[in-house]
Amino acid sequence: MADFDYDLFVIGGGSGGVRAARTAAATGAKVGLAEESRMGGTCVIRGCVPKKLMVFASTYRDTFADARSYGWDFPDGTFRWAPFRDKLHAELDRLEEVYRSLLDKSGVDIHDARASLADPHTVRLDGGRTVTAKHILIAVGGHPVRPEIANAHLGLVSDDIFQLDALPKSVLIVGGGYIACEFACILSGLGVEVTQHYRGAQILRGFDDEARGLISEMMQARGIDLHLGTNIVDLRPASEAPEGPVGTGSDAAMGAPVGVGDATATVVEPARPSATARPGGPVWVKATNGSARSFDHVIFATGRAPNTSGLGLEEAGVTTGRRGEILVDDYSQTSVPSIYAIGDVTDRIQLTPVAIREGMAFTETVFKGNPTKPDHALVPSAVFTQPELGTVGLTEEEARDQEPVDIYCTSFRPMQQAFAGRQDRVLFKLVVSKDSRRVLGCHIVADHAGEMIQLAGIAVKAGLTKEQFDATCAVHPTVAEELVTMAVPIRSA
């Protein structure tokens, strides 16, 4: 048997790669890991964690308003971006050190370098150094992409939002997926004037139609100027707008500072020779709905792509798909037996907990002799809009294409918000098989729906029936009691 520098070499220091490295090292394997950017990957550094902290920050405006309805007397507060952003970055620095410490304590060799494949057992690091490994695991994740339109470089992507020196007064968010909708709610909650353009007929494609319809209504009720069936026709620097800025949403396009009490907004990005203005500056946009105006920023949330460029996949013989994703079998093995891949780079289910479980299944398979397929069925997830959307299992549309189903659903104004005079509505929905009576899907639109769906996901994953849900006593008064009190289906499909 050939001698290798490592039993396992992991390319990518995100949640999935780190978990795989640590669990493999725990079996006694010699493990190395390379990360070209910051340890923690998308989730910790530029995704789930900073986004959720921004979600928390953005909800306090409603909390303050509701408190006055409950008898508290205090003046409106002022949100200051700079102190929040600095504390946010400090927290991300702390978490990155936690990840490094976990790897170090597990005995994993850390290489702060870009890595690529030289052959099925050799990894090339920055500077030309190479290391060999019996097994190689690719866990490099993905990145946000801009649409293929003229001057798209003038717009920001989700990664850039966490780096802003100041909040803009107005933004246009292009896209209708969960990232677009989450940031629309976040920025609106922080006091930014938000316009959103989505070319589809309804936001949150792929989620339950009834649930995404309510989210759309609630977003608009909160002041988000949502335009469906709308796309960009023309995008250019505001200084080059035809006949001057048209319908500007703030004074920024007229030369006034951009921001809320801090400094002029800037985004650190490499200069592009073809640019007529720096990315992130005031941008003029003409849309298919006939509108034409300037925004302080345009933010593209139009999709993500696997980070496979320049990885040496072709040279090593690793097969990729149409979007550049690494193709793997049920055990995360690529077309090259010694090379595996997990997480967003495989474009299966792009969720951090899924990547972690794929990493653990990889260790079971390769280092523990226990072939284990990562379980991609009935994965709960949440969209952190306001209100949140929690979902697990089949949508009504998916279920009715498979078998006859009963639909149990209720929507109402929750007591806490109704007392405060708000018009917010929640939705609870169960999709139930007529034949087996199993709950095939659960969809919740409400504050803290993410917390609720984690618990409901256990019941759906366990295959419980509607009658077993009903046999559970309600906790009253809560909004979640609706999960066990919907006695009569509202329709069959």
What is the predicted pLDDT for the residue at 194? 98
**DSSP H or E run through 62:** helix 48-69
Beginning with the edge strand found earlier in the chain, give each strand of the sheet holding 388-393 in spatial order: 381-383, 388-393, 439-446, 426-433, 405-412, 491-492
| 358 contacts: CB under 8 Å, gap ≥ 6 | 16, 332, 342, 343, 346, 348, 374
Kindly name the residue from 135, 297, 443, 476 that is annotated as catalytic. Answer: 476
**DSSP H or E run through 234:** strand 232-237
**pLDDT tens digits, one per residue of 10-57:** 999 999 999 999 999 999 999 999 999 999 999 999 999 999 999 999
Give exposure, 113-137, as e/b (b: 16+ Cβ within 10 Å): ebbbbbbbbbbbbeeeeebbbbbbb
Half-sphere exposure in the Cβ direction for 444 (13 Å, CA)? 26
pLDDT higher than threshold 60 for residue 270: no
Could you give the CA distance from residue 93 to residue 85 in angstroms, rounded to a whole number?
12
What is the predicted pLDDT for the residue at 385? 98
Instruction: Name the nearest CA neighbour of 220 among 436, 444, 425, 1.
Output: 425
**pLDDT tens digits, one per residue of 414-442:** 999 999 999 999 999 999 999 999 999 99
Using CA atoms of 157, 162, 168, 171 in order, give the dihedral in degrees to the nearest 10. 30
Could you give the CA distance from residue 1 to residue 14 in angstroms, rounded to a whole number?
31
Could you give the CA distance from residue 417 to residue 257 in angstroms, rounded to a whole number?
36
| 54 contacts: CB under 8 Å, gap ≥ 6 | 88, 161, 162, 186, 190
Dihedral sign for Cα 41, 43, 45, 47, please.
positive
Average per-residue pLDDT for the chain: 92
Please state the rounded mean pLDDT for residues 247-264.
33
Beta-bridge partner residues of 283: 237, 295
Q: Which token pair is 42?
A: 């998308």
Could you give the CA distance from residue 297 to residue 156 in angstroms, rounded to a whole number?
7
Instruction: Name the nearest CA neighbour of 311 among 133, 67, 130, 140.
Output: 140
Confidence of residue 248 (pLDDT cuts 50, 70, 90): very low
**pLDDT tens digits, one per residue of 317-344:** 999 999 999 999 999 999 999 999 999 9
- β-strand 130-138 against 388-393: which pairing, if any? unpaired
pLDDT higher than threshold 90 for residue 142: yes
**pLDDT tens digits, one per residue of 347-388:** 999 999 999 999 999 999 999 999 999 999 999 999 999 999
CA distances from 362 to 159, 186, 320, 333 (A): 29, 36, 19, 9
pLDDT higher than threshold 60 for residue 409: yes
- Check if 476 is active-site: yes
**pLDDT tens digits, one per residue of 179-237:** 999 999 999 999 999 999 999 999 999 999 999 999 999 999 999 999 999 999 999 99
| 324 contacts: CB under 8 Å, gap ≥ 6 | 305, 306, 308, 309
Could you give the CA distance from residue 51 to residue 112 in angstroms, rounded to a whole number?
25
Range scoring the smallest mean pLDDT among 134-143, 267-276, 284-293: 267-276
Three-state SS for 93? helix
Give exposure, 421-444, as e/b (b: 16+ Cβ within 10 Å): ebebbbbbbbbbbeeeebbbbbbb
**DSSP H or E run through 429:** strand 426-433
Domains defined along the chain, listed by start? 6-144+305-367 (3.50.50.60), 152-300 (3.50.50.60), 381-492 (3.30.390.30)
Q: pTM for the whole thing?
A: 0.91
What is the predicted pLDDT for the residue at 281? 78
Instruction: Name the nearest CA neighbour of 173 among 216, 214, 226.
Output: 226
